[in-house]
Structure formats: structure tokens, C-alpha cells
Amino acid sequence: MPEPAQLERRTTELLQRLIRFNTVNPPGNEQAAQEFLRDTLMAAGFECELLAAVEGRPNLVARLRGDGDGPTLCLCGHVDTVLADPGDWSLDPWSGEVKDGCVWGRGALDMKSQVAAEVAAAESLAADGWRPAGELLVVITADEEAGAEQGAQWLCREHADKVRCDFMVNEGAGEIVHFNGRRVYGVCVAEKGVFRFTLTTHGEAGHASIPRIGDNALTKLAPLLQAMRDRQPSLELSPEPESLLTALGIDPSDPEAAIREAGKADPRVAVLVEPLLGVTLTPTMASGSDKINVIPAQASLKVDCRVPPGLGREHALEKITEVLGEDGWSIDFNEQVVGNRSPIETPLMDAIRGWINRVDPDAAVAATGLPGFTDSRWWREAFPECVAYGFFPQREMDLFEASPLVHGADERVPVADLGFAADAYVHICRELLS
Ligand SMILES: [Zn+2]
């Protein structure tokens, strides 16, 4: 087994190198970072390919072949990041500096840290002469932050045979949650769907100097906005929040009561768990007349709507009507992406539980979902048998410290968590592929 201190040092070094490649997407510009990772894994004995949908933005597929015919495990990550405004940061976002026990920089959490830990784990196993029963894949995508059209979506469609796998470890959860004396690590097994829509109200134009000469469509948005300010659609239970609430010691059978109970003990838990319990409606953009002196005949409101995995447009509409009523508006869906999930009880979950039992015996493991979505969605869609989980374990920094730093200023990750995660990946590889 690789020595923990050595794994931590190597993961830290890889993360620092990765942060120094500016891969802000757009434009992404992932080529140099991917070549660095390819060279690293090739030196350890992996067969590596860079596969690009467009010039300069390759995806990396690295494969360690075994001699038996066991399953294929894929350690997955993306190397692009969202932008960073240096003016908001206390350190250069592309410095990769170590300060106060953390590596700082854009991507330190989302998700160059996990990429570094996966590559360090894979590299150390291969360099030690370990070979999988089955295959170990390391797939690092481009373009995750801008929709994955040149990354995971393209890879799963155009190179399905090269990225097909039985198990996948990707981003999405893993930070510890402390709640009522309990310690819980989440494993993300599902992603919600996206059903963004535009609401339109109708009236009659007129001169704005005579308010009642027209019929103002813009003011008709007010009750719709008020309704979404006052309430969200009624909550509904599904396997992921059920698992999470149970691990937190809360009876999930009545979701509304469960959220009240969570909120009393720690409001932050309620804020993060509630979106997993149903359709959410978040109005974000409104427009009316093009001219300040014209009463608008039409006004529109854009709403970001997220729907639990497996459910579609009919379900979304039912919940929208529950909040907005049936009259006074028309609707157009701008995006309709159904979310998906992997089963909770699998050999991959067993491997994760086994590792937590060893390194943090008083803690529990729970399945959870993501209100947003990750590359895992594309793998589950392309390969229905693939069990794809998000797991980057962290215990120095908990969920509530990490969440605001993701896509935020002063993004950083504790060095101790880097070694912790790399150790998890070594263990998972050995458990599933030995
Ligand atoms: Zn990410």
C-alpha cells in the first residue's frame, strides 16, 4: 500500500501544478493541463489517449489493463474551472500557493483537487506494480462547466467503447456534515433534472401617462412572483433524501416535518436538504415593455426549475400549477433535461463504507443527490448499467465551509483532505478490482 504521507505530498504537488494551468471555461484551454496529466499517467504504466471534439480542448482517457476479467472502474474528473476575478481574492487564483494548511486557487475544490487525488492514487498503484482484475480507467474531461458538449457528452457519444465502465467515481459529495453529534459523509448517487421555463402574461398596450387606458401585463407578474416568494411546491420523498435524513437521525416519512426538525437543529442543513425533496422554482429574470412610456401588452419571467431525478415535464407542470394556479399565464419550457440516478446499494457503496469504517469509525455514510448536475449524468444516460457516484471525502473542511468557496473567491482545500481523498481512491480501486 502507498504510504499516506507520500500520497498527500504527491496529491498536493499535482494540485499545485494543475491550478497553475489557467483552464477557465470559456475558453477552457485544457490542452496543456491534459498533456501534463497524460505524461504523468503514461510514466506510471497507463495507456493514454487525448480525444478532442475541437482543437485545443482534449479529454484524457487513461487505461490500466489487468489480466482477469473483472469490472471496469473509472476515476473521473474535469480539468476546466469557472472564472475567477483576482480583485476578489486574497491570493492569486492561479498561484496554487500553500498557506494556512490549504492549497489555494481556482479549482482547489471544483475539482482539480479530486483530479489530483485520483491521479496520485492511480499512479501510486500502477507504479507499485499493482494490476486490476478488470480495468482501471482515469477519464479527465474538458468543458464540464459550460455544458459538457465538448467533454463528457461528446465522449460518451463518440467514444462510448473507450469510456464505458461498470463503476464511476466523480464529483458531487463527500464533505463531512456534523449534525446533532453525528458525523455523516454524503455519496452523491443522483442529479436533478433541469426544466427552465418562461412564463408570459398578456394585456393590452397603451400610453403610460394614462395608466388605465391599457392593461398592464407587467403588473400581472406580481402575483406570480409573490407566489414563488411565499412557497415552493409541496415536498416529496425519494431514495436520496430518505437516506440522508435517516443518517442525520431525522424521520423522513413526513418531509415537511423533517425539514422543520432539521431547521431547528441547524438551519443550514434545512437549506441544503430541502431542494432534494422536490421541484424547485427560482425566478431569475423578468422583462416587460421595451419603452418606459408604453404599457406592455406582454411581460415575461424566466424561472430556473429543477426536478427530482427520473421525473419529467408532466410532473414539473403539476407542481408549477400547484404554486401558480392555472390562470393568467402561459408557459414555454426552454430546457427539458431529465435527471437520473444510480442505485444506492452496490459494491461501490460497500467499498466506500468499508473505507469510512476504517478511517473514521464513528461516522456514517449516506446517499445524497445534487440539485445541480455533473458529468455523471452523461455516463448514466449512455451506459444504464454504470453505477456513477460523486465522492471526494473531506473532513478538515466540512460541507458548510466548502460550499460557499465552490465557484467563489478564495477557493482552497486543506492539504490533509487531499491525502485523505487519495487514500479513499486507493482503497476503492483495490476493493473493486482485486
Ligand atoms: Zn465541478
Spell out the per-residue pLDDT of the chain, length 434, in tens.
668 899 999 999 999 999 999 999 999 999 999 999 999 999 999 999 999 999 999 999 999 999 878 999 999 999 999 999 999 999 999 999 999 999 999 999 999 999 999 999 999 999 999 999 999 999 999 999 998 999 999 999 999 999 999 999 999 999 999 999 999 999 999 999 999 999 999 999 999 999 999 999 999 999 999 999 999 999 999 999 999 999 999 999 999 999 999 999 999 999 999 999 999 999 999 999 999 999 999 999 999 999 999 999 999 999 999 999 999 999 999 999 999 999 999 999 999 999 999 999 999 999 999 998 899 999 999 999 999 999 999 999 999 999 999 999 999 999 999 999 999 999 999 999 99
The alpha-carbon radius of gyration of the chain (Å, integer) is: 23
**DSSP bridge pairs for 136:** 64, 73
- Residue 239 CA to residue 231 CA, distance in Å, equals 23
CB 78 within 8 A of CB 375: yes
Tell me how far the alpha carbon of residue 55 lies from the centroid of ligand 1, in angstroms: 22
Tell me how far the alpha carbon of residue 145 lies from the centroid of ligand 1, in angstroms: 7
Tell me how far the alpha carbon of residue 24 lies from the centroid of ligand 1, in angstroms: 12
CB 212 within 8 A of CB 219: no
Tell me how far the alpha carbon of residue 144 lies from the centroid of ligand 1, in angstroms: 7
**Active-site annotation holder among 8, 80, 123, 242:** 80
- Report the candidate in 235, 266, 243 with the shortest Cα–Cα distance to residue 368: 243
DSSP for 223-238, please give it: HHHHHHHH--PPP---
pLDDT at 1: 62
Tell me how far the alpha carbon of residue 130 lies from the centroid of ligand 1, in angstroms: 29
> Is omega for the bond preceding 26 within 30 degrees of 0, making it cis?
yes
CB 75 within 8 A of CB 169: yes
Tell me how far the alpha carbon of residue 307 lies from the centroid of ligand 1, in angstroms: 20
Helix (H, G, I), strand (E, B) or coil at 184: strand
Tell me how far the alpha carbon of residue 82 lies from the centroid of ligand 1, in angstroms: 9
- CB neighbours of 387 closer than 8 A, spacing ≥ 6? 166, 167, 168, 342, 343, 346, 348
- CB neighbours of 132 closer than 8 A, spacing ≥ 6? 64, 65, 66, 68, 70, 73, 429, 433, 434
Does the active-site annotation cover 80? Answer: yes
Tell me how far the alpha carbon of residue 319 lies from the centroid of ligand 1, in angstroms: 29
- Report the candidate in 24, 31, 81 with the shortest Cα–Cα distance to residue 60: 31
Residue 215 DSSP one-character state? B
**DSSP bridge pairs for 49:** 61
- Residue 11 CA to residue 102 CA, distance in Å, equals 12
Tell me how far the alpha carbon of residue 171 lies from the centroid of ligand 1, in angstroms: 6
- CB neighbours of 86 closer than 8 A, spacing ≥ 6? 92, 93
Tell me how far the alpha carbon of residue 337 lies from the centroid of ligand 1, in angstroms: 18
Does the active-site annotation cover 144? Answer: yes
Tell me how far the alpha carbon of residue 126 lies from the centroid of ligand 1, in angstroms: 26
pLDDT at 123: 97
CB 29 within 8 A of CB 57: yes
Amino acid at 409: A
Tell me how far the alpha carbon of residue 370 lies from the centroid of ligand 1, in angstroms: 12
**Active-site annotation holder among 144, 145, 166, 240:** 144
In 104-206, where does DSSP find H-type helix? Answer: 112-127, 152-158, 160-163
**DSSP bridge pairs for 408:** none
Cell output for 386: 454504470
pLDDT at 40: 98
